[in-house]
Amino acid sequence: MRLTSSVAFVAAFLLSAACGGTTSIATHDSGVASAHDGGAAAPASGSITSTLGSSATSTGCNVGAPNTPFLTAGSSSVPVESGVTCSVHPTGTGSFDVNVEIAQGETSSITIAATLTDTPSAQGGVSASFSTGTSVEYTESDCTITLSSQGNPPIAPGRVWGTLSCPTVTDAKTNATCVATATFLFQNCGE
């Protein structure tokens, strides 16, 4: 019995150390040892590449030509932590409430809110906001998100990876409309 406890103690210690955490080991009344990683949770991070511009159907869009780069931050291999706020909360079998925002200082930000399921097809009813540093905010409440085939899975508690498409984001002050897109990854989000 003592050998089993010693082996469990060493295994728990090595497992925690391999994960890079600070380790505390406890021996329970049953003689079984366990390790606890006392490290803090990883901060929320994300990446986004987005466009905002005119299209054949847009009216008064003065942001730029079609597919004008809007906000780019990080990459899927090197996400950023600064300016990222997100939650991906499970609401049922395969369903998630998603609320994410990424901002670049005071110059621009993108906010996305949706209820998504783990399916590969485009999902509608997504609200999005593309804000500029000049107090112009383009919004739409019927964008679509297609989850990425690169994520495995592309959505899970605390993580979402996909592409946003908004054919008619509108500036409420001027009624100008533009088209907006974004490819994004958010991880280590609140659950």
Domain residue spans of the chain: 2-37, 45-187
Give Rg (Cα) of the chain: 22
Cα 128 to Cα 99: distance, rounded to the nearest angstrom? 10
- Tens-digit pLDDT string for the chain (191 aa): 433 333 333 333 333 333 344 333 333 333 333 333 456 789 999 999 999 999 888 888 888 788 899 999 999 899 999 999 999 999 988 899 999 999 988 889 999 999 999 998 999 999 999 998 777 899 999 999 999 987 778 999 999 999 999 999 999 999 999 999 999 999 999 99
**pTM recorded for the entire structure:** 0.77
22: which 2 tokens? 């600070």
106: which 2 tokens? 């005071």
Q: Per DSSP, what are the bridge partners of residue 164? A: 145, 182
Question: Number of C-alpha atoms within 13 angstroms, CB side, residue 37?
Answer: 12
